[in-house]
Amino acid sequence: MVTPLPLVYAPNEIFRKKATNIDIVDNNLRSLIDRMIKTLYVENAVGLGANMVGILKRIVVIDLQENHTKNPQVFINPEITWYSDDYQIFNEASVCFPGISANIKRPNAIRLTYVDYDGEMKEFEAQGFLASVLQHEIDYLNGKIFLDYLSKLKSDMLLKKMKKHMKLYPPHIHGEGCKH
């Protein structure tokens, strides 16, 4: 049975550190990725960067679960190689920054290179919501958070709101007994 990994909650210095590249895709790495995917589902998230679970490795897992169908995607060593000139705004949040969200402006489309679950080098293009999710998660790997796109005043206000939320609703590992 695959067990989820515990989330790291803000504020934490790991969100300011750059994740390191992965040299070898082996069964140990795939086991870690499987646990990240399990965490993604347990937390009802659409994406996770490895540092969100305390691991400074360049791994992103996502699943938009379109039509309520699970379709996890794994991106090892993702690097964005192209950004579109047109932008979009989505309301972004993070399971590691509970209780807050903000409208973030990002390029509408991206192209990236990455290594897949089987160790194969791939290219991928994304647009719309998927492009924003990938940029959000890859930002984590680069030591950047979604609040960095806001003014210091707005970011500080949201962090204060998050701390209040966490006092009222302390984080925990979600399980079968959860009522949310």
Q: List, in sequence order, every residue forming a beta bridge with 61; answer none if it has no partner.
A: 48, 74
* Contact predicate 42/53, CB 8 Å: no
Beta bridge partners of 164: none
Alpha-carbon gap, residue 47 to 74, rounded angstroms: 10
At residue 28's C-alpha, the angle toward residues 7 and 135, to 5°, is 50
In angstroms, the CA 1 to CA 3 distance is 6
Active-site residue list: 137
